[in-house]
Structure 1
Amino acid sequence: MSELIIDEDWLTQLSEGTNEAYQRLFATYWPRIYTLVHMLVKSDIQAEDLTQEIFIKIWNNKEELPKIRNLDAYIYTVARHASLDFLKKRVLVTENLENLIVHLRDDAPGPEQQILFKDLENCLQNGIDTLPANIREVFMLSRYHGLSHEEIAEQLGISVYTSKTYVVRALKALRLYIRHHAHVQSILFAFLILNRL
């Protein structure tokens, strides 16, 4: 973003909740924030929703604005965090996580993707290693060896319901693990993979 000249009176009016000041903020920053968010999330609807959320967040924290020395940087940071939070949630939806696991198992990345691919794969494997042994075994048979719940139940002497439950628990645990351990770059890489599936 190119930096705008920000006067302190405007920030004070914003912090006081002046409607005119907020309209000026909206008119000045909406197109720039929307463009930035859209570049990250690749969806008109999501970009619009996220941009709206960003302005609401700024409004809800308006008392902090007079302390801000660089409004451009502040708004850019709020927008970037909101976009990355959205991407993390999207990657970690159960169906997307399952697609990602299949992709990591079946497809070799290009040379330029090797580092991020390896980081994401290691993060996922480390997460799998934290699962209880019985859940991990069912998960591996289901997602890495392609066995049906019926086949797993027969092989391990458990019920089909138990097999399904263990896979659900594994996916939930892996979502949490990735959320807390994956680097931002890996999350974005996963998002790009999922967009191609």
Structure 2
Amino acid sequence: MEKQLKNYRVRIYHFMLKFVKDSALAEDLTQDVMLKIWLKKDKLSSMEALDSYILAMAKNHIFDHFKKLAKEKSYQKEVWHHLQNSENRTESKLATDDIQGQLDAILHELPPRQQQIYELNHDKGLSLQEIADQLNIAPNTAKNHLTRALKVIRSQMNPESFLWLAWLGLLPL
């Protein structure tokens, strides 16, 4: 039986090598099949169609190997996609928090009336007419205060931050 196993080993190795094109991997797969054969040697010794059975074992093992690779690749893609999205969300959150901090610092430096009008317009979504009515001022005065506030913000924010704020809808372009 041992001489027969050596012959099968060579045949299985060449069969595996034909599919995987890597001698080390073909050797590992051959070893796996040879172990299965060795564990079933008592059962196999009484078989008449041993060649067909061992070839079927090798074929099934190579199919299982490729199925496993496909699952691993699919899993790797899924994990990579999840990590990419997670990193993007984290980076976006950090960037947004940093830019919001810069904006808050600039707003804190504005005169109180400009702060108030900016907050009513951007935070509460009030129109210039609604702001003017609420503060008992002319709509043009509300517009002038908002324009000055936006001019200060634009001049003090770096261009990337300004575009990021505009993209997030925190500033008009």
What is the TM-score of this pair, normalised by structure 2? 0.44
Larger Rg over CA atoms: 2
What is the TM-score of this pair, normalised by structure 1? 0.39
Higher relative CO (Cα under 8 Å, sequence separation at least 6) belongs to 1
